[in-house]
């Protein structure tokens, strides 16, 4: 079809390439393919279970040994046994082929088996194609810049192997790299067009379900003493926040995620949303506006299986999910990749809420012991109001040697008594749980809130990074029909709230906080030269990842729609618009391809122009230079016709050859002078 079109427009196309004759691949090329398969199997350890990855690696090493020994493939019976074992291994380890890791692991095993049995050219072609597919599969697990760079380099290596396989003559690695780089460079414009304008698929791929959640810590729907302490050293990012204006102070950065009113022996759990909650949610949703609130921001959240989204207390506007009466926001279905959403918040709750369930908010399964009851009676006598009782309990934590620790001791059958009178050491969930139960015993409605507190300001990208180590639990008490946040951790460790969890980790020496706390804190807040440079480099790299995730990974249907609007294109019928752009872009690339095939006039050098004047003088004697003639061949024919001018013709031809092909020799001015002085006499008649 293409050749018919070219013929219609009188475009000369190069001849059809003939299939390369079958040739035997050199050991160097086989070892290059083996190295690529080996890299693919080694990186498979990051995805698959060790037993599956090790088996795939074993098959690859087996093939390398055969190549080094000059052997071809193992016996068919051996191949059959290895293949059956691969089926059985995936079935036993994963329970089937359902799921991303199971499916990709099975493809990796089949790739290694195909490599083991390869002997003909087409077998190795297929292995290279499978390696392309495995490289693309890595994006199901990570779309980071580092992973992109590794995939591009790996793809370039596979393309080099394809170029070298195609050529029947031995191709040096340098030439293979040059050819592969050209192929990859030509693919980049098309890749950019497809990325920007190909219709974005909304939703997940149902035919390839994932059995895994994100690899990081996630807030549970229940709270058990010690859960948050286990995540204290997990500095992986949970989400990043970009404020429209100056962000709040660190002490006001409370990121609410879940509210837990249900208590069971010092443990807490989330209340499932009921019909009444959904009715309240619809009413609150009508009043929620992103234009309201003192603080407006955008959150770029990492992949998570959690349906509760963190928002700055207290949310008054949101672009994603539904808000409940307890000011928590949830979505119907968890996201399977990084995602972003907008929020607006005020430091005090403004949205109306439903009437609280007082019986639930005062209920406890634990009963106070005699020692605790004595303390409660004293507090009741001393503090008649709810606010006074809150302050009494906080003062009790401050004045009785309670400690904030990243390695809290375990609690036994009497968790509250042991914490209050024996260990007096805990993490945020210990203080929040104890405080909330004490409030309920003092007839003050209270509940637990979990989420994150604080975050690190990235001065390079001007955003706040919230890590899993910032996970936090605090309390809320109902006073004068308004929920009031009370963080008992702040009473014991103000630094945790004022300067953040990163500072606490810097003060931690492995078993306790350093004794020279003030100096260590000053060093953290005002680091020296090397530490400052290291922190700046870390923030620069994180900002690069943030911008990559924001503009590339998080490029979805909505951002594509906004791009079309900014380009002045119709975004309402976006699918038709995008298809039109794709056809136009593809047509432009095809025209560019044909334009490159059209012969283009070449600019002649001064020596060539002068030589043309020389040969033009022979035309009137019917002596012309053919396209296939070399200058010396034409000179031979000219000297036969004009033997009396043989010396002049020889010298002019020699000067031209020196100028044209041996540029270090010859003089252009001399050559021009010789041609100018050359006068043709009558030819010698032939016999």
pLDDT at residue 159, rounded to an integer: 94
Q: How confident is the model at residue 286 (pLDDT cuts 50, 70, 90)?
A: low
Model pLDDT, residue 55:
93
Q: Can you tell me the mean pLDDT for 628-657?
A: 88
Q: Give the model's pLDDT for residue 521.
A: 79
Both tokens of 219, joined, read 């807030």
Helices (H), 508-573: 517-525, 529-548, 557-566
**What 8-state DSSP symbol labels residue 513?**
B
Most confident of 138-152, 445-459, 507-521: 445-459
Our CA dihedral for 88, 93, 98, 101, rounded to 10 degrees, sits at -120
Q: Where does the pLDDT of residue 466 fall: very low under 50, low under 70, confident under 90, or very high at 90 and above?
A: very high
Please give the pLDDT value at position 543: 93
pLDDT tier for residue 621 given thresholds of 50, 70 and 90: confident
- For the stretch 176-195, pLDDT in tens is 888 888 888 888 887 888 88
* Residues whose CB is less than 8 angstroms from the CB of residue 174 and which lie 6 or more positions away in sequence, other chains included: none
Strand-strand pairing, 329-330 and 311-312: unpaired
Of 359, 350, 286, the residue nearest 316 (C-alpha): 350
pLDDT of residue 452: 97
The helix (H) or strand (E) run that includes residue 43 is helix 27-43
Q: Quote the pLDDT of residue 239.
A: 95
pLDDT at position 190: 79
SS (H, E, C) 593-617: HHHHHCCCCCCCCHHHHHHHHHHHC
Contact of 334 with 411, CB cutoff 8 Å: no
Q: Half-sphere exposure (CA, 13 Å, Cβ side) for 607?
A: 19
Q: Is the pTM of this model over 0.85?
A: no
Q: Sorting pLDDT into bands at 50, 70 and 90, what band is 528?
A: confident
Does the pLDDT value for residue 211 go beyond 50?
no
Structure tokens at 321: 């999910």
Residue 670 CB: number of other CB atoms within 10 A? Answer: 12
Residue 589 is encoded by which pair of tokens?
């690339």
- Asked whether the predicted pLDDT for residue 360 surpasses 70, the reply is yes
pLDDT greater than 70 at residue 73: yes
Mean pLDDT of 623-645: 87
Please, which pLDDT band fits residue 511 given cuts at 50, 70 and 90? confident
pLDDT of residue 258: 95
Look at residue 431 in the predicted model and tell me its pLDDT: 96
* Helix H or strand E encompassing 6: helix 2-8
Share of the chain above pLDDT 70, in %: 86
In whole angstroms, give the CA distance from residue 471 to residue 232: 8
Please report which confidence band the pLDDT of residue 659 belongs to, taking 50, 70 and 90 as the band edges.
confident
Which helix (H) or strand (E) segment holds residue 323: the answer is strand 322-323
pLDDT tens-digit series, residues 112-147: 999 999 988 889 999 999 999 999 988 888 888 888
The mean pLDDT of 290-299, rounded to a whole number, is: 83
CA within 13 Å, CB half, 376 = 19
Residues β-bridged to residue 343? 297, 318
Instruction: Name which residue leads in pLDDT, 516 or 339.
Output: 339
Residue 100 CA to residue 288 CA, distance in Å, equals 38
Look at residues 453, 444, 456, 516 and name the one whose alpha carbon lies nearest to residue 490.
Answer: 453
Q: Which residues contact 124 (CB under 8 A, 6 or more apart)?
A: 25, 30, 33, 118, 161, 165
Query: Does residue 234 have a pLDDT over 50?
Result: yes
Percent of the chain with pLDDT over 90: 41
Q: How confident is the model at residue 663 (pLDDT cuts 50, 70, 90)?
A: low
**Which single residue is written with the structure tokens 């020799």?**
665
pLDDT band at residue 213, thresholds of 50, 70 and 90? very low
SS3 assignment, position 586 = helix
Distance CA 480, CA 143 (A): 49
Domain positions in the chain: 27-166, 222-529, 557-597, 606-677
Count how many Cα atoms sit within 13 Å of the Cα of residue 319 in the half-sphere of its side chain.
14
Q: Average pLDDT over the chain, rounded to whole?
A: 85
- Judged against a pLDDT cut of 70, whether residue 350 lies above it is answered with no
- Given a cut of 50, is residue 207 above it in pLDDT? no
Intra-chain end-to-end CA distance of the chain, in Å: 55
């Amino acid at each position: 079809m293409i050749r018919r079109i070219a013929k219609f427009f009188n475009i000369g196309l190069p001849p059809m390439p003939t299939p390369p004759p079958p040739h035997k691949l050199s050991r160097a090329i086989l070892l290059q393919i083996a190295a690529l398969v080996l890299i693919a199997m080694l990186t498979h350890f990051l995805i698959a279970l060790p037993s599956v990855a090790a088996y795939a690696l074993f098959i690859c090493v087996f093939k390398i040994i055969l190549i080094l020994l000059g052997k071809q493939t193992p016996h068919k019976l051996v191949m059959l046994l290895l293949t059956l074992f691969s089926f059985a291994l995936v079935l036993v380890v994963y329970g089937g082929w359902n799921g991303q890791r199971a499916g990709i692991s099975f493809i990796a095993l089949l790739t290694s088996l195909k490599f083991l049995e390869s002997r003909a050219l087409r077998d190795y072609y297929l292995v290279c194609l499978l390696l392309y597919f495995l490289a693309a599969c890595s994006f199901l697990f990570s779309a980071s810049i580092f992973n992109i760079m590794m995939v591009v380099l790996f793809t370039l290596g596979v393309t080099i192997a394809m170029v070298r396989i195609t050529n029947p003559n031995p191709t040096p690695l340098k030439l293979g790299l040059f050819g592969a780089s050209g192929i990859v460079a030509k693919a980049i414009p098309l890749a950019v067009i497809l990325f920007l304008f190909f219709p974005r698929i909304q939703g997940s791929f149902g035919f390839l379900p994932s059995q895994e959640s994100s690899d990081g810590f996630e807030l549970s729907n229940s709270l058990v003493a010690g859960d948050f302490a286990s995540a204290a050293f997990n500095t992986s990012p949970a989400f990043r926040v970009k404020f429209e204006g100056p962000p709040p102070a660190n002490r006001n950065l409370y990121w609410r995620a879940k509210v837990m009113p249900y208590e069971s022996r010092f443990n807490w759990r989330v209340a499932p949303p009921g019909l009444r909650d959904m009715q309240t949610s619809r009413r609150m949703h009508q009043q929620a506006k992103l234009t309201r609130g003192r603080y407006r921001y955008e959150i770029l959240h990492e992949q998570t299986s959690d349906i509760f989204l963190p928002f700055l207390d207290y949310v008054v506007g949101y672009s994603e999910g539904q808000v409940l009466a307890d000011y928590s926001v949830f979505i119907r279905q968890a996201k399977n990749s990084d995602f972003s959403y907008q929020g607006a918040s005020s430091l005090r709750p403004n949205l109306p809420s439903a009437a609280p369930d007082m019986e639930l908010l005062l209920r406890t399964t634990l009963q106070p012991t005699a020692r605790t009851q004595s303390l409660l009676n004293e507090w009741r006598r001393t503090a008649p109001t709810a606010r006074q009782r809150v302050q009494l309990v906080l003062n009790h934590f401050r004045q009785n040697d309670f400690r904030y620790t990243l390695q809290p001791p375990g609690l036994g059958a009497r968790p509250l008594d042991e914490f209050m009178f024996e260990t007096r050491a805990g993490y945020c969930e210990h203080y929040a749980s104890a405080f909330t139960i004490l409030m309920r015993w003092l007839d003050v409605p209270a509940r637990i809130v979990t989420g994150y507190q604080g975050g690190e300001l990235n001065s390079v990208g001007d955003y706040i990074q919230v890590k899993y180590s910032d996970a936090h639990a605090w309390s809320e008490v109902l006073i004068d029909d308004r929920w009031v946040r009370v963080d008992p951790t702040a009473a014991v460790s103000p630094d945790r709230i004022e300067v953040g969890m990163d500072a606490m980790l810097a003060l931690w020496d492995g078993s306790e906080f350093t004794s020279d706390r003030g100096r260590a804190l000053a060093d953290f807040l005002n680091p020296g030269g090397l530490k400052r440079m290291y922190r700046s480099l870390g923030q620069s790299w994180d900002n690069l990842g943030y911008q990559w995730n924001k503009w590339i990974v998080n490029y979805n249907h909505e951002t594509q729609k906004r791009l079309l609007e900014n380009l002045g294109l119709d975004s309402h019928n976006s699918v038709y618009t995008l298809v039109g752009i794709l056809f136009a872009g593809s047509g432009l690339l095809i025209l560019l391809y044909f334009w490159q095939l059209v012969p283009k006039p070449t600019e002649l050098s001064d020596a060539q122009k002068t030589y043309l004047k020389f040969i033009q003088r022979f035309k009137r004697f019917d002596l012309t230079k053919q396209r296939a003639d070399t200058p010396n061949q034409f000179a031979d024919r000219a000297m036969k016709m004009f033997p009396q001018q043989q010396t002049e013709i020889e010298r002019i031809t020699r000067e031209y050859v020196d100028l044209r092909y041996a540029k270090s020799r010859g003089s252009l001015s001399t050559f021009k002078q010789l041609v100018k002085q050359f006068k043709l006499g009558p030819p010698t008649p032939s016999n």
